[in-house]
Structure 1
Amino acid sequence: MTRRLDDGHMWMETTATELFLATASPRILYAEFNSDHEKEHGADWLWCWVDRDGTTFCLLVQAKILKNPDGRRWRIDFGYKTRGDEARRPQIAKLIAASDRYEAAAAYVLYCGDTEYRATLECDRRHDGVACRERERVGVSAISALVAENAVTYYGKDAGVAAFHAAVPVEDIAGSDNLDTPIVPLTRGLPEDLVRFLRQPQRGARRAAKELLRPVERIRMGQFTTAVLERTAPVTGALFQDLPADRGHFSVPYLAHVLRGLRAKAPGYVRDVLEGRTPPAWVTDHLAGIIVITDADAPPAAGGQVVDCGRHIVEDQASSTVAPDSEEA
């Protein structure tokens, strides 16, 4: 991003993602597909953190740029409507709906440039004593789609700045050596294992899920609606099965939405990537690719592999994934 700015040009989401993946490899694995995915689903990539014990956290991700086109107002185009979509649905609504297909959490990865690029961003809130725009590592950050949805609803034209303030640097999501602070949930009567997860330090995939949940829970604490005790339908394979249906002002139950992406073992399409197989068509036809961060709680690996299923199709190998019943998200 800095190089493009130094050359007097802006970067594109696809270019930034390609360079990001190439730079992060071989620490991460990625499978790249070739499909017209964005029109239908509003999503780019499926990101998955996979620990040694198989615990996995998956995000269905859309990439966005923090922009300042007129030199006055910073924005992130969450309200974008994909050309060719007859229903003209906002991309954010399609992203949240499409995440049901993979039983993953919906999220955005934000490309926010360097501190010089963000020098005029106006946010008077601070992070551990550091001005919001001057935070380190925040150039590539992530937020839950529910945070973006809230920003669009309540901050209007300032939604981009609000979302940036809530964003978590990708490097800090599962790679930080600092202990994560507890989350005090609004909803009472939670199962003991979920309370321990929220209150005790986590590592790896669990840490990734907790850091994506943290801003959502913080927003929910400020919403003046009563938390409900009814339970959502359990998600097969999810680490936490007994979750409240409380949604506050979000469009979906927030705990269930984020934590359904946290699984006791990797989904079949993730195992396909890890084992060098091509994931099934219901995955490859709807995503640009899959990113797998293995051993998320381990130091950087000395070696690894890059799996490019878009160019090297593996024949006659059965996928370990069964397609969902529904063809549409």
Structure 2
Amino acid sequence: MTGMLDAGGMFREVAATQVLLSTTSPRIRFVEFAADEEKENGADWLWWWVDRDGTCYGLLVQAKILKLHGKRWSIDFSYKTRGDDRTQLSKLINAANHFHVPAAYVLYCGDSQYRSTLTCDRAHDDVPCRERDRVGVSAVSALVAETAVGLDVRNAGVSAFHDAVPVEDITSPDGLDAPIVPLARGLAKDLDRFLRQPQRGSRRVAKELLRPVQRIRNGQFAGAAVMEHAAPVTGALFENVPNDYGHFSVPYLAHMLRGLRAEVPDYVRDVLEGRTLPTWVTDQLGGIVVIPDADAPAVVPGRASDSGAGRRLSGLRETPRPPHGRRPGQAA
């Protein structure tokens, strides 16, 4: 992204994704498909985090760019294709039902110089929002984006950016994750433990992406959380999940946690073992990304292994551009 800006150009979703995946390969596995279902599904790729014990977490992901238009920052969550009244956001959430995973965005947000004029009056551990490390490639639930659009469509991009989590931080996080205190009471013991106790691997990914969604729900004046259970997803790690909607369009806990599985789906194993994937998968997606356990040794012939996917991603730290680099809004 920095390179394109320095050259007077602008980074694009497809190119940024290809650079990200090629740089992290072979530690991170991916398969790119020929199908282009974005118009119908609003989605690009399936991302799966896979632990050595078989626990895994999947997301249906759409890539988006944090863009500057004049003096206004935005992410086009409400994009519509010609002749279709549905927003790309609503299609993404609906398409996620096909794979029984949550819907999410991977945001390409440039480097700190690109974001220098971004206005967000909230901070992260006393660091201004726009100056956070590693946030140039971040992930956020589609439910966060949906809420931001509903509250203030013009500033939805900045709001979602604030709640986005750097991909590097959820792939190989440092420190212990703080407890999530749910609005619902009387949760199943395994779910309550998951929310309140530190997690690692794919469980940690699920928890970090759920965190801003739960924070939004806790701030909604939507009455007490509904305690009836959502329909269980086959193979889901948690079978008894509240069917509480809050002000979201779907039951938020059930939506966010249905991608957390006890066993790796067959088509994800196909990616890991180099087999041909079924057409019901390849015809629906632009590709699949598989991020193996961060503690597993990398398989890189002829050299010492990295300590994990997060270590490889750590090589993509944001670096300041030289003074002559193009700034936001500057003519190419």
Q: TM-score, normalised by structure 1?
A: 0.89
Per-residue deviation, residues 65-122 of structure 1 (Å, max 9, x unmatched):
000021x110000000124xx4331000000000011001100000000000000000
Determine whether 1:191 maps to 2:188.
yes
Per-residue deviation, residues 215-262 of structure 1 (Å, max 9, x unmatched):
000000000012111111111000000011101000000000010000
Determine whether 1:53 maps to 2:45.
no
- Indicate the residue corresponding to 1:316 in structure 2: none
Give, as a single letter, the amino acid of the residue that structure 1 aligns with 2:77. F
Determine whether 1:242 maps to 2:218.
no
Question: How far did 1:303 drift?
Answer: 2.0
Question: How far did 1:64 drift?
Answer: 0.1
RMSD over aligned Cα, in angstroms? 1.1
- Aligned counterparts of 2:60 and 2:242: Cα–Cα separation in 1: 22
- The SS at the match of 2:194 is helix
Give, as a single letter, the amino acid of the residue that structure 2 aligns with 1:160. G
Q: Name stretches of at least 5 consecutive residues in structure 2 with no aligned partner.
A: 302-332
Q: Which runs of 4+ in 1 moved over 6 A?
A: none
In the alignment, is the contact (CA less than 8 A) between 1:174 and 1:203 conserved in 2?
no
- Indicate the residue corresponding to 1:148 in structure 2: 145
- Indicate the residue corresponding to 2:308 in structure 1: none
- Aligned counterparts of 2:171 and 2:30: Cα–Cα separation in 1: 17
Question: How far did 1:43 drift?
Answer: 0.2
- The SS at the match of 1:211 is helix
1:155-166 matches, cutoff 5 A: 155-166=152-163
- Indicate the residue corresponding to 1:37 in structure 2: 37
Give, as a single letter, the amino acid of the residue that structure 1 aligns with 2:230. T
- The SS at the match of 1:162 is helix
Give, as a single letter, the amino acid of the residue that structure 2 aligns with 1:113. G
- The SS at the match of 2:300 is coil
- The SS at the match of 1:271 is helix
Question: How far did 1:272 drift?
Answer: 1.0
In the alignment, is the contact (CA less than 8 A) between 2:188 and 2:240 conserved in 1?
yes
Question: How far did 1:302 drift?
Answer: 4.5
- Indicate the residue corresponding to 1:202 in structure 2: 199
- Aligned counterparts of 1:156 and 1:43: Cα–Cα separation in 2: 21
- Indicate the residue corresponding to 2:314 in structure 1: none
More divergent stretch after superposition (44-53 vs 220-229): 220-229
Of residues 248, 251, 261, the one that matches 1:253 is: 251
- The SS at the match of 2:103 is strand
Question: How far did 1:210 drift?
Answer: 0.3
- Aligned counterparts of 2:98 and 2:73: Cα–Cα separation in 1: 32
- Indicate the residue corresponding to 1:323 in structure 2: none
- Indicate the residue corresponding to 1:176 in structure 2: 173
Give, as a single letter, the amino acid of the residue that structure 1 aligns with 2:217. R
In the alignment, is the contact (CA less than 8 A) between 2:145 and 2:160 conserved in 1?
yes
Per-residue deviation, residues 176-224 of structure 1 (Å, max 9, x unmatched):
1211111000111100110110011110000000001000000000000
Give, as a single letter, the amino acid of the residue that structure 2 aligns with 1:158. N
The alignment-based identity, stated in percent, is 67
- Indicate the residue corresponding to 1:280 in structure 2: 278
- The SS at the match of 1:68 is strand
- The SS at the match of 1:216 is helix
In the alignment, is the contact (CA less than 8 A) between 2:184 and 2:227 conserved in 1?
yes
Give, as a single letter, the amino acid of the residue that structure 2 aligns with 1:50. V
1:1-329 matches, cutoff 5 A: 1-70=1-70, 72-83=71-82, 86-226=83-223, 227-296=225-294, 298=295, 301-303=298-300
Give, as a single letter, the amino acid of the residue that structure 1 aligns with 2:38. E
